Amino acid sequence: MSAKITYTKQGDYYLPNLKLPEQAPREIGIWGQRRRRYLKEHHKILYYNLLTSCKLIDHLADINEEAEMHSLLVNQLAEQEGVTEQLKADDQMLWVQRMNNIRNRASEIVNAELIYT
């Protein structure tokens, strides 16, 4: 394997022209972005290892797919607590309060289980 390395002069130094291989584009949603920010701020070694091995995008996309449990949790908790369309029609403010509470709890669960681990 003899790959020719080219250099670019930056000031008094020659720096190698390095490029990461092309990756297939994958969707990274809000949960993947939160995981990226967490890794970058609190687990820098893991973040840079994933980045340089070209596995970061796949990791973040997988986290984002797993975090789809957020909507499932919201639906299940709403069903368990009796937050229905009938409640929405009868008392909108109570429905909004309960749904906000349920969404916040589901977000806490996803954060604890996927994002901050």
For the chain, domain boundaries:
25-67, 68-117
pTM of the model: 0.74
- Per-residue pLDDT tens digits for 78-94: 999 999 999 999 999 99
- pLDDT > 60? residue 1: no
- Per-residue pLDDT tens digits for 39-54: 999 999 999 999 989 8
Q: Where are the alpha helices (DSSP H) in the chain?
A: 30-42, 44-52, 56-66, 69-80, 85-90, 92-110
Label residue 82 left, alpha or beta by phi (over 0 means left) and psi (-120 to 50 means alpha): left
